[in-house]
Amino acid sequence: MKEKFNFSLLRYVCDPLTQEFVNIGVVLFSPAHNFIRASFTNRYGRISKMFGRIDGASFRATTGYIERKVSEINDKMERGQLFHEHEASLQSILAEVVPPDDSSIRFSYGGVGITENPSLALDGLFERYVARYENPSENVRREDNDIWRIFQEPLKAKPVYSQFVSKTISAPNYEYQFDRSWKNGIWHVYEPVSFDLADERSISEKAVRWLGRSISLSKSSEPFKLFLLLGEPADPRLGGAFQKAKNVLAEIPGKREFIPEKDAEQFAEQVEGEFQQHLLEVQD
């Protein structure tokens, strides 16, 4: 049966004066279902990007404590050891968990609704108010697959295109699946990487992630050559950030090559030439 619920949002408030905040969790209370539960994120990267560095260990400890306290209240409700509907509101319950004050982490009124499955409703609210905003660094103008389509178009007309397969490169502590690869003595693995992102920090962080990933993969016992197919920012103001990103990628160890999207046609000719040479060598 559908019953009424209330929910509150847990927020990280950076500045009490400006009231700038980031939602970091949701608590849903449905007295008729004897249900009060919380869903919080323990990721603080978005907060750091918006407001500067925070104490990550303290942040995780605080959200973990709040989640445990709400869970304890729910357990008491289910055992009938706690209030009835007329005895408490969500605000009064949460005031005992996090007293309302000017601290950085605080609860805010969310709203009301009806549901027959409060757990499912909580998941939906968490996705709506928290999870969907968790990765702003991937706020892209073009996705990686958009860059691949630029390279794919001239390749589709080449016989080598039918030879592309998925290949997982495994290292002692990491592995990565490349969706477009073929073997020419060693594996040639192709990966589109869009740097058509929202800002300089996003571009820098994506380059650093690829550097770290490639360093780990370089420890693989299976030789391979990495081809990164690069999409550049559409915003000319981010050209400097893109150049710095390429400088970071230049630190990738092992066999690697970086192909700008403007060279997609030439790249297709290059790969096809290598493929035809490979066929000749196999026939010999």
> What does the pLDDT look like over 77-99, one tens digit per residue?
777 765 544 346 888 888 888 87
Q: Above pLDDT 70, what percent of the chain?
A: 85
Judge if 124 and 253 occupy the same domain.
Answer: no
What's the confidence (pLDDT) of residue 19?
A: 60
* 212 within a domain of the structure (yes/no): yes
How far apart CA 53 and CA 14 sit, in angstroms, is 11
How far apart CA 253 and CA 215 sit, in angstroms, is 6
How far apart CA 238 and CA 207 sit, in angstroms, is 14
What's the confidence (pLDDT) of residue 85?
A: 45
> Pick the residue with more confidence: 59 or 206?
206
| Phi, psi dihedral angles at 269 (to 5 degrees) | -65, -40
Judge if 160 and 129 occupy the same domain.
Answer: no
* 34 within a domain of the structure (yes/no): yes
Sign of CA dihedral 29, 35, 36, 39: negative
| Tens-place pLDDT, residues 112-128 | 999 988 888 888 898 88
| Tens-place pLDDT, residues 28-59 | 999 888 888 888 876 666 666 655 556 667 77
Judge if 174 and 266 occupy the same domain.
Answer: yes
* 139 within a domain of the structure (yes/no): no
Structural domains of the chain, count: 2
Residue 229 has pLDDT above 80, yes or no: yes
* Domain termination site, one of 86, 101, 134: 134
Judge if 129 and 241 occupy the same domain.
Answer: no
6 membership: H or E segment, kind and range: strand 3-15
Judge if 64 and 156 occupy the same domain.
Answer: no
HSE value, Cβ hemisphere, 13 Å, CA-based, for 117: 6
What's the confidence (pLDDT) of residue 52?
A: 58
Q: Quick one: average pLDDT of 162-175?
A: 91
Residue 176 has pLDDT above 80, yes or no: yes
CA distances in angstroms from 119 to 73, 123, 125, 134, 218, listed in the order given:
15, 6, 10, 21, 44
| Residue 269 · residue 222 · CB < 8 Å | no
| Tens-place pLDDT, residues 232-278 | 998 888 999 999 999 999 999 999 999 999 999 999 999 999 999 98
* 74 within a domain of the structure (yes/no): yes
Which residue has tokens 């981010």?
Answer: 238
Q: Which residues pair with 109 in a beta bridge?
A: 8
Domain of residue 187, residue span: 144-283
Judge if 193 and 155 occupy the same domain.
Answer: yes
Which residue has tokens 């391979």?
Answer: 224
Judge if 227 and 189 occupy the same domain.
Answer: yes
* Domain termination site, one of 113, 134, 155: 134
Judge if 27 and 67 occupy the same domain.
Answer: yes
| Phi, psi dihedral angles at 144 (to 5 degrees) | -55, -40
* Domain termination site, one of 108, 134, 160: 134
